[in-house]
Amino acid sequence: MASTLEHSSAQVAASPRGPSAADHVRFGVIVGLLGVAFWQILVRMYGSWFDVGTYMEHGILVVPAALYMAWTQLDQLRQTPVRPSGWGVALLAWGAGQAVLAIAAQWVWVSRMSFLISLVGAIAAVYGWPMVRRLMYPLGTLVLMVAPPTFVFDRLTLGLQLLASRLGEICLEALGYSVLREGNVLQMVGISLSVEEACSGIRSLLAILFMCVMYNFFFVRGNRMRGLILMMAIPIAILGNAGRIVASGIAGQFNHDLVQGATHEAFGYFSVIVAAFGCVGVHLGMLRIQKAWQAHHHA
């Protein structure tokens, strides 16, 4: 009888448990220390969200969105077994070393990503990899609060500028307007449309990617479908921005003042809204195709 009780006690002790208050305290202390260590990096990243040159206005919404995603999984998180991993400590050390080297070399993006690496390491060290896997989507969303590397940003912006200019020229000519394109400048009767960096579509692309990530989490099931929607966000953003250029060109033929100022900015926000609805439309369309395919193969 005694041996049976001892065996049962050993099984209970060996069985995985959920997070305890002590685990939360340890994690809170580590995160607090990370906040102190990465304070300058975090402050500069926060400031970049309000820099008109980075087009990261959505950055201020990323952390609340990720926290809300995690909160919706609260019941599952409470049941996730705690298995602290020494690899989490290694990730913490990696993040610290990466931050030091990045600051010395002035690699802004690398230094900011080091904080996210350290955060994942803290979760793995205190709670274990099962918790990291459970929080993978909210943690991945946090990447969107970091502005892309400068060299990627510059090349992407230039490519989008030329593509948006070309699409705008094609659409305006198809509508019967006379257009002469010189690089990223569209010459029309009485007006000149210059597709600047802000009008290239990079701003709407980053914002639409964030909206698609949010939409995927709450309304889309299946990693394949989520991946397709994220990929479609890119051409949708490009087409939406081309629509903005076309609308500006047409409006400018009636009133030259409409191609600049508040009206021009309004066209930009409207194109983001239209592109967001376009992503939803793509999802609904893919669901219809999926149902039709399943019905055909099960018939």
Indicate whether 155 pLDDT > 70. yes
pLDDT tens digits for 13-43? 444 678 888 999 999 999 999 999 999 999 9
pLDDT at 267: 64
pLDDT at 278: 80
pLDDT tens digits for 216-243? 998 888 888 888 888 888 888 777 777 7
Indicate whether 4 pLDDT > 50. no
pLDDT tens digits for 110-150? 999 999 999 999 999 999 999 999 999 999 999 999 988 87
pLDDT at 6: 42
Let me know: does 56 contact 49? Beta carbons within 8 Å.
yes
Burial class for 280, CB neighbours closer than 10 Å (0-12, 13-18, 19+): middle
pLDDT tens digits for 268-288? 677 777 777 888 888 888 888
Number of other residues whose CB lies within 10 A of the CB of residue 108: 18
Residue ranges per domain, the chain?
2-147, 151-298
